[in-house]
Structure 1
Amino acid sequence: MGFVTGNWPRLSPVSVAARACCPRCGRGRLHLGFLTMAPLCEACGLDLVRQDTGDGPAVFLIFVLGFLVVPAALYVAMHVEWPLWTHAPVCGVVILALTVGMLRPAKASAIALHYRHRRSDRGV
């Protein structure tokens, strides 16, 4: 493996989120399926079940995407002459696609931040 126990590289939460890897070693996979967490890192053995994020990433995405998509939807509604009923499905699909696409990196980033800042839970 190449790592000495306790001598782990300090990984950026952005790089962990982009690669969806273990926040301790940067090698193991974080997810087994789309959002299913792996119980242990396959490379270093970190207990990933203890790094629970709850609903934090989803709530964060709701606020950020709401802040970004609502003004864009209002701009489109004022400048594009669509029938009124088409705005809801179009905006709904855009919001759903952005949320699903960003949920996995947001969850990986929250796990990396949780691991970095909770020293008592670093474990083996």
Structure 2
Amino acid sequence: MIAASHETEDDRPIGAAIRRGLMCRCPACGKGDLLEGYLKVRASCPDCGEVLEHHRADDGPAYLTILIVGHLMAPLMLWFFVAFRPAPLTMIAIFLTGTVALSLALLPRMKGAIVAIQWSRRMHGFGSGEVVHD
């Protein structure tokens, strides 16, 4: 039986980082705001000074938002239509509003989660001490 002697304690636990990212907080300290504005990631945390400019979230937050909103709204729309048989304009008004509101609420949180995952796993220059510019 081989014992795993290379086990080390993770100094950047992914679960805590994702929770902080979902709250739009710095993945390192959990206190500073991750975003300045709606979707712009700060260059560094105002509380702990962690450099955040390395992130490469790209289209990931949008894809995750679409995936979640689609999986929530599609069955809800089907159930609502079968249960209540509303007029088409009523369906459009209700579900357009719900879809837009849910998308706007989730998008910055998904961006925070993506940045937090990258920070936790030391991706794209996080934790290496080098600044990567494209």
**Structure 1 counterpart of 2:19, which letter?**
S
Change (3 A) 1:76 1:57: same
Deviations 1:16-63 (A, max 9, x none): 134322112323221111222211112232221211211101111101
When residues 62 and 120 of structure 1 are mapped into structure 2, their CA distance, relative to the original with a 3 A threshold, is closer
Task: Quote the residue 2:6 is aligned against.
Answer: none
Higher helix share: 1
Query: Superposed, which structure 2 residues align to 1:67-82 within 5 Å?
Result: 67-82=71-86
Provide the C-alpha distance between the structure 2 equivalents of 1:45 and 1:52, rounded to a whole number of angstroms. Answer: 19
Aligned residue pairs, count: 117
Which of residues 104, 108, 120 is equivalent to 2:108?
A: 104
Q: Is the 8 A contact 1:22 1:29 kept in 2?
A: yes
1: distance between equivalents of 2:20 and 2:97?
28
Among 12, 21, 43, which residue is 1:17 paired with?
21
Q: 1:96 to 1:50 in 2, by over 3 A?
A: same
In the aligned structure 2, how far is the partner of 1:40 from the partner of 1:17?
A: 14
Q: Percent identity?
A: 25
Unaligned runs of 5+ in 1: 1-7
